[in-house]
Amino acid sequence: MLHDFATGLLRRMDPERAHRLGMTGLKLGFGPRDDAADPPVLATRLAGIGLPNPVGLAAGFDKNAEAPDALLAMGFGFVECGAVTPRAQAGKPRPRIFRLEEDEAVINRMGFPNQGLPRFRSRLAARRDRPGVVGVNLGANLDSEDRVADYVTCLEALQGLAGFFTVNVSSPNTPGLRTLQASGALDDLLEAVARVGSSVPVFLKVAPDILDEDAVVMVEAVRRHGLHGVIVSNTTITRPASLKSAYMGEGGGLSGPPVFERSTELVRVFRATAGPEMAIIGVGGVDSADTAYAKIRAGADAVQLYTGLVYHGPGLIGRIKAGLVERLQADGFASVSEAVGADLRRDSSAG
């Protein structure tokens, strides 16, 4: 596929320059298109949102909501833009993205670089009546004195312009941000978010580095404050012994295959804790139909990817969807929703 070949060429460049060129191409209309209707077996619902397929683009790719429609046209079932912060910020000093080629992984310490809320909002307002589910990842400025207020400011300003919102308290690249995952701080944040209210679902994005027992606290907080689900998970600050790249010691969040096992196990933990009703999006190491299906069977209603695109190109989206159809049919499932949490049900019946 031509666009997959182009992805290989871009990977020879500095990561940020390559990404900027890719985004420019998307904005100019040079991105790939998948105009074929998705097979009905892939249609599903996520916290009441109808999706043509369960394969989404994770936040971080389109930080400024510059090309959500071009990304949807590539075949994604939904796209998450951001993270957006109230004020524009440059993020952390470069270099801040490192490709771990031998591991097909990435380490980033971006620090939420973005053009700020006003420009982000104007772009979403310009596409208000267009089809497709576009969510927004909410963040806080690096130098913010009141991070809870940052989330509230963004949520208030973007009402009516997004298909869903994500409260991102799990990035390792904003110092102190992950402390908002602690029970007291999390309650304060989610209470403030709940006061704003939202006509669309709101998710909490968690880190893969939490303990299993932390899932209980988080699920209770999500329910207590009326959120709709969780996104499991963000990048990890751990460095598995399996890493081979010389960049393994760089600071920042690790994404890609090395985080797959832990993030998938955490999906299973959250599903077992929350039961069947809470919406869960599985993220981390999705780079094939097998890894996407594993997250669904572990309890994810939908999945997201980003690093997989870096190494496999946009053709990956169609390959995942085709592989999911094959696996769902082979296992006798008439829909994605029937497969959600199948491994938990199997283990329960075996026990």
Active site residues: 171
Exposed/middle/buried for 56, CB within 10 Å: 0-12, 13-18, 19+? buried
C-alpha–C-alpha distance, residues 162 and 151, integer Å: 15
- Do the beta carbons of residue 85 and residue 141 sit within 8 Å? yes
Token pair in block for residue 60 = 């971080």
C-alpha–C-alpha distance, residues 349 and 351, integer Å: 5
- Do the beta carbons of residue 165 and residue 159 sit within 8 Å? no
Listed in sequence order, the DSSP H helices in the chain are 2-10, 15-27, 68-73, 117-126, 147-157, 183-196, 214-224, 260-274, 289-298, 307-312, 315-330, 336-339, 342-350
Task: Report the half-sphere exposure of 344 (CA within 13 A, side-chain side).
Answer: 23
